[in-house]
Amino acid sequence: MQPWEVLVQQTINGLTRGAVFALIALGYTMVYGIIELINFAHGDVFMLGLFISLSWFALFGVTQAPTGWQLLTILPLVFVLTMLSTAALNVAIDRVAYRPLRRSTRLAPLITAIGVSFMLENLALLWKGPAPIAYPDVFPSVDILREWFGVDSAIFVTTKDVLVVGATIPLMLALNYFVTRTRWGKAMRATAQDRETAQAMGINVERTILLTFFVGGALAGAAGLIQGLYYNIGMWWMGYQAGLRAFTAAVLGGIGNMPGAALGGLFIGFLSAWSDQYISARWTNAIVFSILILVLVFRPQGLLGARSADKV
């Protein structure tokens, strides 16, 4: 492989990783925007999304690559069911763990979020055991350049890469439509910008918070399913690492800033892929968290500007 081919290949890897980080980071940033909580359990909702999607596939009897029409019907259905499941889970977490603390100090729900994270991880450990879980190779992996275009290239672009991007972009467009065009999307932004005034508009703030957790949970579930389809493996602890990277992405873009979270996710995706290649996979976490520290020290409002950086 030529050096430029390596770079292109790692950039493609970075894009697919970044898409998953971006979907998770959006949930972090939306929840922060509305209740100023860093929801440390969010990464674990992503992890459970992967495991829950396994159960949905199992329910439909899918254990390996299904045929064409099955893929076209079952896969979208599992997407929807997984997203609904994690959305409901995220709403339940808020109701049980965070809502009773709505009027207490900021630290109380933050520590609770860490506790919820431990509980979800241990739940997954009980459910699936400590060993990595094989995820069925539901989505066929076709080397597009070679098999479809007959190009003999060292670079691999597979149908799975296309799946990741092809699932992420519509989700982000739908989210963008929701927050900028719909009544409840506008209510959500209004609540994030000025809660008391939003109430004075007749907006039920608790309902808006519920909706935020619902949407954030759905995106995390989609990310979990995409992760499973792409890497064909799931671990009970994967939410911790993905969550921290996605959190870094959200801070990088400016916590509370939704386009910032999406771009931050992509950036962290590229960075971690390049770091794995050119430095060493062992150093990638150190590099990602150095970025987090540098941003917090020198530009706490993030690259695109945060909603309220003074409150991080």
- Residues near another protein (CB under 8 A) are 183, 186-187, 189-190, 193-194, 196-205
- 107 vs 200 by CB, closer to another protein: 200
Q: Whole-number minimum distance, CB 192 to another protein, in Å? A: 9
Q: Whole-number minimum distance, CB 21 to another protein, in Å? A: 24
- 124 vs 198 by CB, closer to another protein: 198
- 132 vs 305 by CB, closer to another protein: 305
Report which of 262, 285, 220 is spatially closest to residue 47, judged by C-alpha positions.
220
Q: Whole-number minimum distance, CB 34 to another protein, in Å? A: 14
Is 241 in contact with 230 (CB distance < 8 Å)?
no
Give start and end residues of each alpha helix (H) in the chain. 3-35, 42-59, 68-93, 107-128, 159-181, 183-193, 195-200, 205-231, 238-253, 258-275, 281-298
Q: Whole-number minimum distance, CB 307 to another protein, in Å? A: 8
For residue 184, give the amino acid letter.
W
Q: Whole-number minimum distance, CB 33 to another protein, in Å? A: 11
Count Cβ atoms within 10 A of the Cβ of residue 269 and give its class: 0-12 exposed, 13-18 middle, 19 or more buried.
buried
- 55 vs 197 by CB, closer to another protein: 197
Nearest 5°: the CA angle 51, 54, 59 is 135
- 196 vs 310 by CB, closer to another protein: 196
In the three-class reduction of DSSP (H, G, I as helix; E, B as strand; rest coil), residue 152 is classed as: coil
Strand partners, 158: 143
